[in-house]
Chain A
Amino acid sequence: MKARTLLERAAAILFVAVLLSPLLLVVLFAFSSKAISNFPIPGWTLRWFREMLAFEPFPTALSNSLLVGVSVGILSAIIGTMTALGLACLPRREAQIAMLALALPLMLPPLFLAVMLLVWFLFLGLTLGLKTVILAHLLFTLPFVVVVLYSRLSSFDFRIIEAARDLGASPWRAFADAMLPVIMPVVIGAALMAVALSIDDFILTSFVIGGGNTLPMLVMSTLRTSVTPMTNAIGTMLISLSIVSTLIALYLTRYRG
């Protein structure tokens, strides 16, 4: 029994190390003074971050990533709240079926979804660009946002709304004054989850963006040409953005899988 506990503890530690180490190493080598990502590390430097800042396509890629991420966050928060509220008023079984259907795009291989959206956007005559990227991202961020908000609303006391309505509040005022302040942390958290997913996305973006750049697209283009630790610096930026959003999101929503 004792040996088994020890084995399980070792396995858990190994799992955590394997899950985290690739990303941690990317960050670690971004600060290494050597041009090749390996051990031993001779010294520490901020040179690669300075190179990143001076890298010509970097500012546009960063602002595009942020623009898309924030738009996707806001849109999925608004639409997600409406959807979760609508579903909360339906019978539980119907709501669950609707959420399962909404999650179907996540079950397709991302490449299939990407090429499918590409040909559909071209068929509709839309110009590829950041707008088509935002539309594509909404398709896979909404299911997350809706599930998180729906589970918050299922423990919400709807008598508060009825009380506000009885006291003469319009449906909108009842929502804005009695419900929104209570669910706001979860709405923001769910929106940040959407931001993290959007900023990190590469597959859909690369097919439906047309010509522009985002941070993952920039990483890919450096991978195609010459890899220096500047790629690690851009990657560190990317990982920090998505992980910080995720951490705040997990804290606010208390979402645990």
Chain B
Amino acid sequence: MLSRRTSYLLLLPAAAIYGGLFVAAAVYFFMLSFWSVRSYRVVPDFTLGNYVKTFTTHLGSGEKTLLIAFVIATAATVLGFYYAWIIRFRAGRWAPALLFIALITLFGGYLMKIYAWKTMLGSDGAVNSALIAAGLITQPFEALIYSPTAVIITLTHFLLPFAILPMVAALRGIGDAEIESARDLGAGSWPVLRDVIIPRARTGIMASFALCFLISVGDYFTPLLVGGKMAMVGQLIAPQFGTYFNWPLGSAMSFGILAVSLVILGLVNAGLSLVGRQ
């Protein structure tokens, strides 16, 4: 084994990247939210004006964003839990293959998945043309694309692998013996799920939900490409760093929505901890 000093030396490059690129950037970004812009220049200042503006002018789009993110995170977590549950308890020798598929789709294709849904959901896209070819419909569904539904479908699909993996890890930690003993005491499948599996997998479920929720809250390109006229917070934040050139406001919007998101995640966690504990 190495001495403690050598091991600290080995950690130095990672610490430099983490400190110099992430911690320092985050501190600077946070300070920016209290600064102001005068004649296209960022001026060090101390004002809460950016936060006031965030929580007054942009409240509506913030609410809509949080609602959509909540729907997406819930859908991805529920579907992901079902998939992880199949992998852990039902798939048998197919389990490694199912896990493998979740892993490959995790690493590839953020933009390609948005593009795929954009072409598939369009009025002359694959979904409509397949439904027409199958004789199920005669007129294409126009409402599929450029709508909140399209954003929800696209992001839920993109986030599903992110939701699956933490829950597979969590369900792996539950021994067969625990479930067997609950069964022996007369519990059916639903009580076993509610009283044993969900409470024991809570950390994993929460990790999945939080990851999906935060990524959805800040997503920008999905609503831009398939959301049509709807505006999520990301579409208001991004231009502050380009065309509008208002970094302080962009920063305050980011921290504002992040703070509200963390409160919501805290509430979800509290709600989840009630399951199976009454």
Q: B-contacting residues of A (Cβ < 8 Å)? A: 5, 8, 11-12, 15-16, 18-20, 22-23, 25-26, 29, 36-40, 79-80, 82-83, 85-87, 89-90, 98, 101-102, 104-105, 107-112, 115-120, 123, 135-136, 138-139, 142, 146, 158, 161-162, 171, 193, 196-197, 200-203, 207, 216, 219-220, 223, 227, 231, 235, 238-239, 242-243, 245-247, 250, 255-257
Tell me, rounded to whole Å, the shortest Cβ–Cβ distance linking B146 to chain A: 14
Chain B residues with Cβ below 8 Å from A255 are 103
Most B-side CB within 10 Å, residue of A39, A115, A239, A250: A115
A106 (CB) vs chain B CBs: closest residue: B211
- B241 near A119 with CB under 8 A, answer yes
Chain B residues with Cβ below 8 Å from A87 are 7, 11
Given contacts A15-B83, A118-B241, A202-B221, contact A37 B8 (CB under 8 A): no
- B218 near A112 with CB under 8 A, answer yes
4 shortest A-B CB distances, which residue pairs?
Answer: A109-B218, A86-B10, A22-B116, A120-B25
Name the interface residues of B103-153: CB closer than 8 Å to any CB of A: 103-105, 107-113, 115-120, 124-126, 128-130, 133
Assess whether B73 is interfacial by the CB under 8 Å rule: no
Q: How many residues of B contact A (CB 8 A)?
A: 83
- A108 near B7 with CB under 8 A, answer no
Contact residue among B7, B111, B237 (Cβ-Cβ distance under 8 Å from A111): B237
Chain B residues with Cβ below 8 Å from A250 are 100, 103-104
Q: Which of B13-21, B45-53, B174-182 lies at the interface?
A: B13-21
Chain B residues with Cβ below 8 Å from A202 are 110-111, 221
Assess whether B91 is interfacial by the CB under 8 Å rule: yes
Chain B residues with Cβ below 8 Å from A161 are 1
Q: How far is the CA of A242 from the CA of B32 in the complex (A)?
A: 36
Tell me, rounded to whole Å, the shortest Cβ–Cβ distance linking A108 to chain B: 7
- B7 near A200 with CB under 8 A, answer no
- A16 near B98 with CB under 8 A, answer yes
Given contacts A8-B86, A12-B98, contact A219 B111 (CB under 8 A): yes
B165 (CB) vs chain A CBs: closest residue: A257
Q: How far is the CA of A47 from the CA of B198 in the complex (A)?
A: 52
Contact residue among B8, B22, B115 (Cβ-Cβ distance under 8 Å from A231): B115
Chain A residues with Cβ below 8 Å from B29 are 115-116, 119-120
- Main DSSP-derived SS at the A contact region: helix
Name the interface residues of B241-268: CB closer than 8 Å to any CB of A: 241, 247, 250-251, 254, 258
Contact residue among A26, A136, A139 (Cβ-Cβ distance under 8 Å from B112): A26
Q: How far is the CA of A85 from the CA of B211 in the complex (A)?
A: 28
Q: How far is the CA of A45 from the CA of B239 in the complex (A)?
A: 40
- A85 near B10 with CB under 8 A, answer yes
- B103 near A22 with CB under 8 A, answer no
- A196 near B107 with CB under 8 A, answer yes
- A219 near B22 with CB under 8 A, answer no
Chain A residues with Cβ below 8 Å from B201 are none
- Can you name 20 extra interface pairs (CB under 8 A) apart from A86-B7, A112-B254, A138-B21? A12-B90, A18-B157, A23-B108, A23-B116, A26-B116, A37-B125, A39-B133, A89-B2, A90-B7, A110-B219, A111-B238, A112-B237, A116-B26, A119-B28, A120-B21, A120-B29, A146-B14, A161-B1, A220-B221, A231-B115
